[in-house]
Amino acid sequence: MDKIEALNKAVSAVLAAGKEILEVYHTPFEIMRKDDQSPLTLADKRAHQVIERCLAPLNIPILSEEGRDIPYDERKNWPLFWIVDPLDGTKEFIKRNDEFTVNIALIENGRPIIGVVYIPVTGRLYFGSGQTGSFRIDQAHRILGKEKGKSLSPDIWSKNLLKDAVKLPIGDSSRKVFTVLGSRSHPSPELEEVVEILRREHGGQIEFMLAGSSLKMCLVAEGSADIYPRLGSAMEWDTAAGQAVAEFAGARVYAYNTKERLTYNKADLLNPWFVVEKAI
């Protein structure tokens, strides 16, 4: 399998999904409930369908939040597969605060080897792989744009990804305060305790920021924040793409209790508590 081709397909898929999501976002939409009572919208379903179509030519299995019921006995034998969250941050989508993403990762032997995270509202695209490292493109939907009056397809454009990308981490020489990220929609008492510990370690001089979806992992990857402790539940599709972007930018993603890297395609798709820590 050509991994650069796989990256191209993943980028094409998130851009196409982002378009579908925004068409729903800018209209009144119905909020449904899954069996676990988590919210679901038409945007989730439309994004899932278009991603499946985009990735189908590579004939690689897909594990998606909207197709989570594949038995472990079947998927445990997958050495290579996609893991997809068509709309990460449905709660943010419903609140209309713009902090939701499309996440696609390619997993090989339990490890993310490609990750793509797209923020449809802003058009910001993050991607990372072992072949390229990690990068950010701002307003990717506009860069896609037009050339000589003819619309470029995502496949054609994504072959030139690195031309318009900024390598991560970017860093911020003006940022002097240790910055901690927390989940906007999933606060916890345990996180508050960790923030207090970090505050004492840094002489009380820290900044605590809230954000939604896998955007938090990407903010650590680019160097806009120092650490993101997730002391609460998160599924594998919530983290796989962000982990790839973070790790290929030199950051660390590890289980809070064991300090081991997060792995994928477990019998139980729930992640342990984890930490994302920027490159030193």
Q: Which pLDDT score, from 0 to 100, does residue 149 have?
A: 40
Q: Which pLDDT score, from 0 to 100, does residue 150 have?
A: 44
Confidence band for 61, pLDDT divided at 50, 70 and 90? very high
45-76 b/e (C-beta count within 10 Å ≥ 16 → b): bbbbebbbebbeebebbbbbbbeeeeeeeeee
Q: Which pLDDT score, from 0 to 100, does residue 226 have?
A: 94
Q: Are 21 and 87 in contact (CB under 8 A)?
A: yes
Q: What are phi and psi of 14, to 5 degrees?
A: -70, -35
Q: Which pLDDT score, from 0 to 100, does residue 99 have?
A: 87
Q: Which pLDDT score, from 0 to 100, does residue 20 have?
A: 93
CB atoms within 10 A of CB 112: 29
Instruction: Identify residue 90 by its one-letter amino acid code.
Output: T
pLDDT in tens, 225-250: 999 999 988 999 999 999 999 999 99
Sign of the four-CA dihedral 210, 213, 215, 216: positive
Report the alpha-carbon distance of residue 46 to residue 87 in Å, rounded: 10
Helix axis angle, 215-222 to 236-247, nearest 10°:
10
Token pair in block for residue 66: 């909207």
Instruction: Identify residue 49 by its one-letter amino acid code.
Output: Q
**Looking at the domain that runs over 3-167, which CATH code has it been given?**
3.30.540.10
* Mean residue pLDDT across the chain: 88
80-88 and 62-64 strand pairing: parallel
- DSSP summary character for residue 224: S
**What percentage of the chain has pLDDT greater than the value 90?**
59
The third-level CATH classification (topology) of the domain covering 178-277 is D-Maltodextrin-Binding Protein; domain 2 (3.40.190)
- Going by C-beta distance under 8 Å and a sequence separation of 6 or more, which residues neighbour residue 277? 220, 226, 227, 228, 251, 252, 253, 254
Sketch the domain layout of the chain as residue ranges: 3-167, 178-277
Q: What is the pTM of this model?
A: 0.91
Q: Would you say residue 35 has pLDDT above 80? A: no
